[in-house]
Structure formats: C-alpha cells, structure tokens
Chain A
Amino acid sequence: MEIVLVGLNHRTAPVEVRERVSFTNEQARRAAEQLRERGILEETLVLSTCNRSEVYGVPPESSHECAPGLSSFLSEFHAVRMEVLGVSLYHHYDREAVRHLFRVAAGLDSMMLGEAEILGQVREAYRFAHEHGATGPVLNRLFQGALEVGKRVRTETELGARPMSVASAGVKLAERIFGKLSERSALVLGAGTISGQVVSQLRDRGIAHLYVMNRSRDRADELAKQYGGEVVGWGEWEKALQLPDVIVSSVAAEEPVLRRDIVERAMATRGNRAVFLMDLGLPRNIDASVAKLYNVYVYNMDDLSEIVQQNRNARQNEVPKAESIVDEHVAKYLSWQASVELVGLVDALRAKVKEERASFIRSRMESMKHLTEADRVHVEKLMDEMLEKLLLEPAERLRGEKELRRKIQNVEALRDLFLSNREKP
C-alpha cells in the first residue's frame, strides 16, 4: 500500500520544461496503461495542470525502488532528455506524497496561494483516472481525502473565502488598465475549464459584452449560452479582435494562436485602443513579441506570479489554519491506511493461530489418552474461544479506535514480528 509521487511544478521547472511535460487526457490514459503494463505502477493518476505535471501511483513493490523507473518513463514518454528533466523532478513517498497532494488540493502549493481552480483540476483528474480504471482502492481513498481537504480549507479558512485564482488575478489586472469592466467587452479563446472560470469572473465583474471563440463550435455555443455571450467563428480574427478590450486565450495548440501580424493588423483597425491579453495556455498561445506592440499588455502564466506574490502576503496569515487541516487529514489517511493494513495483519495472525492451534492440540492430545472424545471436543472448543477472545478484541479495537491506529506507526514491523515472509498477506 505504498504511494509514490514523481512530478514537477512551477517552482522546480520553467514554463519551457512544463509545457513539454504536460499531459492531455489521452496522454494521461496512455501513460497509466503503459505504467501498468510495464509493472511500474499498479494504480496510477496523472495530475496535469498549467503549473504542474505529477504522477501518483501505487507500486507493486517498494515506492523508493520504483521512483527511478517512473522518472525514466516520464523522460521517455515526453521525449525529454533526463539531463533536462532530472533537475526539475521531485519525488515523494508515502506520508510525504499524501501530504503533498493534500497541500496541492488545498491550494497551498499553487503559484497563487489558495487558488480555487486546482481543486477542480484535482477532481477532474481523479474522475478521469477513475473512469478509465487507472485507480484502485489506495488512490481512490487518497484522492477522496484530497478533495475533502480542499473543500474544508475553502470553507473553513480565509484562504478560500477570497478566491484569487489565476483567472480572477488576470481579471483584476484588466481592471488596473481599464477600471470598471462594466462598459468593456471581452473575447475568450477556448471553451475549456479555465476559460469557463475566466468568463465567470468577467461576468461577476459586470463585463458588458462577451465573445467566445473555440475550435469546437458546440462547446463555444455552450459556454456562450451559459454566460450570455456571443460566438465568433474560429479564425475570424479581423472581426473578433476589433472590439474586445480583454482577450483571454486558453487553447491547446502547439503553435501560438495569436501571432504578431494578426494582433498588429487588429491594433491598426482598433486605432491602437488598449487591449489586455491574458495567455493562460500551455504551450503559450500568444507570440511573445506581441507584448512589444503599442497599447498591448500581455500576461502569461509566469507573469501572473507577480500577482501571486501580492496576494500571497495577504493570505499568508491563513496558512497555519490550512496546514493544520492538511495535517489532520494526513493523519486520518494514514490511520485508514494503518487500519487496512492492521486488519489484514490480524486476519493473517488469526489464520496462523488457527493453524498452530490444530497442530498444537494434535501433539498435546497424544499424551492425554484418558480423555473421552467429548472431552477432547470440549477442550478444543475452550481453546478456540480463548484464542478468538485474544485476537478478536484487539481487532475490534483497531477498527474502532483511531488513536490506537495512530499510535501503531509501523505495521511492517508488527508483521515481521509475528509472521514469516511466506505468511504475510
């Protein structure tokens, strides 16, 4: 029941590396399959967001032993040399892996402290992996715990009370340029989760007009309908870029969607009216040289870290509260893990005792020939009762007493003490 985590995030890897190691849903599914086929992991869950790519897994053997294999797999899967990837990867095992995930779900490990989107992304990653059968009892329990942590942190601390996601930070930045957005218009490129969040933020700030552009017309229609926007056909740049003051791009594309020449032409048509471009895509959707154009303000994921720092200080006071919720749930998870392992141990112990009892009675009864058959049955019954009592009571207590489970830190040691390797469950 060991857990291993190998991954990278905004702190360990620059955007150029992160965008190469990001997973689409399809890639996540394929990676999980290959990891199982190669015997590296029994359960797998890939969490890939703009700021992190992490693989959580349950290895067949020791978690420490499987980590190098998992790193090599990532290098091979994304065709990124190990010299480049190795320096960016981090490895966590068992308790630390659990703690890491819970902190991620709580928003404590995000670029923007306490950001709300990550919980949705964890939920989505879990749903996807679960649907495709990549998870098992261990990761199911782990991710259910993570979702619970995220929810509690958001409701019980100020860290979640003032949502400052990447989307809302970008919208606030737009307000630095335009002031109130109630007389402004926005164009959203892409109709994925993050686009939906941005649209929601824009609507909350009272944006006057909303345009949605997406490769898939159906999804664009859906988003536009949900938030009262208007759909613009994909690629109709002249029409689309003429009006909006805010442009948000979150499209899955290998090449920049908004090239300099496109924006340049649009600015000429707009009479150089200021425009704020929020690039939330990975790889980046907006050509970097667009930022040099007059009255064009471009912010990508990394740029938004400036805002993260601003808010981080204000939210820092809430961190201890959130951390204590994380600690509580880590202990809860470990307690569950210990209980599962302990119950398994007690069951194995009972089986062993039963077996020992049979051979013990056989050998001892040899010298007690004077006992009748009824007496022998009676003795056996008494012995069974005593052994059941001896083992049943601790087993029940283990199931019922969390504190007891917490105190038993090393189930493996108990197993080694009472059972030989052959008998381990």
Chain B
Amino acid sequence: MNLVFIISTVIAYGLSLGLYVLFLNTGKELTGRLGTLLLALGLVTHYFALLERSRGLHTVPYHDLYGSMSLFGWLLALTYLGLELYHRQRSVGAFVLPFILVFFLAAHLAPADRLPPPAAHGLVFVFHVTLSILAYAAFALSFVLSLIFLGEERLLRNRKLGDVVWRLPPLELLDQMSRSSVLVGLISIAIGTTLGFVSVDRLPGQNSFFDPKYLITLLVLALYVLYFRLARKTAWQGARACKLCIFNFAVVVLSFTVVNFYVSHSHRYF
C-alpha cells in the first residue's frame, strides 16, 4: 500500500513540477492551475505515504533522518501551497518543487534507521518537533525566494530580460512572499522552541537546560527577526536583505546538520 502512495506522490509532484515549468515558459493559466491541483494531490498522497511509513516502523515520522526529511518536504510543500494561494502567485512553483521531490525521494527510497525512541514524547513534544520542522521548511522557502529575487534583480539591473523574467513574480512580491514565509518560520520556531522547553521540563529526572542546539536556535531566531526588521523599511531592503536571508538559511542548515549530528546531545534530525 505504501508503495502505491509513494508512486502516486512521485507522479503527482513530478507532473506538478512539469506543469509549473510549462507555466513559467508559456504563462498559460491552465497549466499553472493544474500544477497547483497536482501539488495539492501530491500533498495528500505524501501525507498517506508518511502515515504508512510510520505505521510500518511503529514510530513517528521524525524518528529517523529519512522520516524527518520526508516530513520536511511535506511541510515545505504545505507552506508553499499556502503562500501560493495567499499571494496568488504560481511562478515560484517550478523552483520549489524540485526540493520537495528530492526530499521525498531521498526519504522514501532509503532504508529506515533502526534507532531507539526519543526520551521525550506526548503531544507537546509532537508539536515541538512538527513546528520546528515547519519553521525550517518556511526558512528554506524564504531562501529559495531570496535566490530568485537576487537572480531576477541581477537580470533587471543588467537589463538582460529573458522570457522567464516576465513570468517570475515582481521583485516586490518576492520580497513579500519571502517575508511571509519568514514570518511563518518565526512564529513556528518561537512556539516550537517554547514547547521544546516545556517537554524538557516534563521529562522525569534531572535534565540539563543547556544544549548548544538552544544557542543556535536562539541565534536563528534573532537573525530572522533581524531580517524581518531590515527587509521592511530600512536602507537594507531589497537585495541586501535577501543576502542576509540566504546567510540565515546557511545557519539553519548548520543547525540542522553539524549541530544536530555532532554537538547536540538531545536533538536528532530537527
């Protein structure tokens, strides 16, 4: 059954990507709408693929690296779909879908890790993890949007407008979408981190409140607050703010990889 969901998801995301690329090139509204529809379909089948995977392993999706990656991909798709509907802008889909597809394929084609269950559990912990991964997904989206902004801005400044530039969102909209995405990330990470502390507090026995992960999470929070502030109405708005956003995401990747794998003693893949 799981294989059916995996194949359906790959087909839905793959077709959605193809349609978004076609939309970017031709500007035909119908292809864009179909792309969105297939993305929504992919989200549903992806959800069931995640559910089936968790059932098969008798654990939560974020239990291992691949499960976390799949959940990240799903939340990325969800955040993007939300942004697309909110801002009524489909042109970015062609750039976001490859990430979603890669995360999904990598997660579901690799064998699951056999790891002991985490010490913390319960609803608060579930929200802590889910919101943290949602925050990372939102930050990843703002990273992609910032890259598009810088690319488009460079083309506009160099006066080299290809066909694609006319299909991309206006710079102002990219900026707004990036800020919306960061706002989702900021709220998620703030609530997620608070819930994380609550989870630690509820754990039986003596638990250390110090973990390098906390520091880097606070740093990420501070950097994105700074971005959010600078990107709005200061001399940094525009390309400079986008560069900061890209730097911030590099810190997120650092937190997601090096800190989780080698430094933190209480975090795995989120």
Contact = CB atoms under 8 A, between A and B. Distances in A.
Interface of A: 173, 175-179, 271-274, 291, 294-295, 297, 299, 303, 306-307, 310
A310 B166 contact: yes
A177 B234 contact: no
A226 B173 CA distance: 31
B215 interface: no
Contact of B173 (A179, A272, A303, A310): A179
Nearest to B162: A310
A297 B170 contact: no
Contacts of B239: 294-295
B114 interface: no
Contacts of B159: 299, 303, 306
Given A176-B156, A176-B171, A177-B156, A274 B161 contact: no
A176 B165 contact: yes
Nearest to B236: A272
A271 B240 CA distance: 13
Interface of B: 152, 156-157, 159-161, 163, 165-166, 169-173, 233-240
Contacts of B240: 294
Contacts of B233: 271, 273
A291 B161 CA distance: 16
A179 B156 contact: no
Given A297-B157, A310-B161, A274 B238 contact: yes
A295 B166 contact: no
Contacts of A291: 157
A176 B171 CA distance: 7
Contacts of A306: 159-161
A177 B170 contact: yes
Given A306-B159, A306-B161, A310-B161, A295 B238 contact: yes
A91 B237 CA distance: 52
Contact of B170 (A179, A307, A310): A179
A272 B236 CA distance: 7
Given A176-B165, A306-B160, 13 more contacts: A175-B170, A176-B161, A176-B170, A177-B156, A179-B173, A272-B235, A274-B237, A291-B157, A294-B240, A295-B238, A306-B161, A310-B161, A310-B166
A273 B172 contact: no
Which 3 pairs, one residue from A and one from B, show the smallest C-beta to C-beta distance?
A179-B170, A272-B235, A303-B159
B101 to A, nearest CB: 28
A271 B237 CA distance: 9
Nearest to B240: A294
Contacts of B237: 271-274, 295
Contacts of B238: 272, 274, 294-295
A311 B166 CA distance: 11
B26 to A, nearest CB: 12
A274 B166 contact: no
Q: Which of B170, B239, B240 has the most CB of A within 10 A?
A: B170
A173 B170 CA distance: 9
Contacts of B157: 291, 297
Nearest to A270: B235
A177 B235 contact: no
Nearest to A273: B237
16 contacts: A173-B156, A175-B170, A176-B156, A176-B161, A176-B170, A176-B171, A178-B170, A178-B172, A179-B172, A271-B234, A271-B237, A272-B236, A299-B159, A306-B160, A306-B161, A307-B161
Q: Which of B159, B173, B236, B238 has the most CB of A within 10 A?
A: B159
B212 to A, nearest CB: 36
A307 B165 CA distance: 11
A405 B173 CA distance: 62
Nearest to A175: B170
Contacts of B156: 173, 176-177, 297
A90 B20 CA distance: 47
A394 to B, nearest CB: 59
A177 B160 CA distance: 14
A271 B235 CA distance: 5
